[in-house]
Amino acid sequence: MLKPLTFLVSSLPFGYILWQIYLLQTGAPNNLGADPGKEIVLHQGEWAIRFLLVTLLITPLRQITGWNTLQKLRRMLGLFTFFYASTHIASYTVFLLELDFANLLADIQKRPYITVGFAAYILLVPLAITSTNWMMRWLRKSWVVLHRAIYAVGILAVIHVAWLAKSSYAEAFVYGGIVVLLLFFRVLRINKSLFRQGLKPAA
């Protein structure tokens, strides 16, 4: 029951934006503002980073609460992160660049916040591809090492949001604070594990 409910709730932001697009197309009142394309791009990007942070929170919450069922949701939430990041880039390409891929390449090269955001997406791709049980068995320990890249994705995503901000950095500050706490928690767990094994803690 928990998985279907999580899937339904995770789909709501996408359903909301589809509904807003429908209202826009029919001439009905909507919440997309004066620049609908930009609003759609921002909406999808915001939910991509939110799902990324929720995905990162799963393991610490499981370890703190002992509720192991949470771990079963991590893969789904990670895939929703990839989904919203993909629709974020697709929306940018369609609504803002009007499928001008030459301009997309130029933006990636010339605009630092797009460069960083695209780098974060590129790191997400192998994580999504290797999210199956078969890939976990095939890669074994390498799978764990590979999927630690999600922390790098988190850092790049926060930089992307901060660089994109023009007036208020509050959102980027909140996201960055969460990522820092999660990284601190991970380092703490690693040091405790090494201490128990009689090894030197990480710096």
| Residue 75, amino acid | R
The dihedral formed by the CA atoms of 19, 81, 36 and 169, expressed in degrees to the nearest 10: 130
Q: Is the pLDDT of residue 191 over 70?
A: no
Note the pLDDT tens digit of each residue in 8-66.
999 999 999 999 999 999 999 999 999 999 999 999 999 999 999 999 999 888 888 88
In the block, which residue shows the tokens 């095939």? 138
pTM for this one? 0.89
d(C-alpha 67, C-alpha 180), whole Å: 23
Three-state secondary-structure class, residue 76? helix
| pLDDT tens sequence across 59-93 | 888 888 888 888 889 999 999 999 999 999 999 99
- CB neighbourhood size of 74 (10 A): 19
The mean pLDDT value for 90-102 works out to: 91
pLDDT at 199 over 60: no
Cα torsion angle, 172, 178, 182, 185, sign? positive
The C-alpha angle with vertex 36 and arms to 30 and 37, in degrees rounded to 5, equals 150
CA distances 138 to 59, 130, 132, 146, Å, are: 22, 10, 10, 13
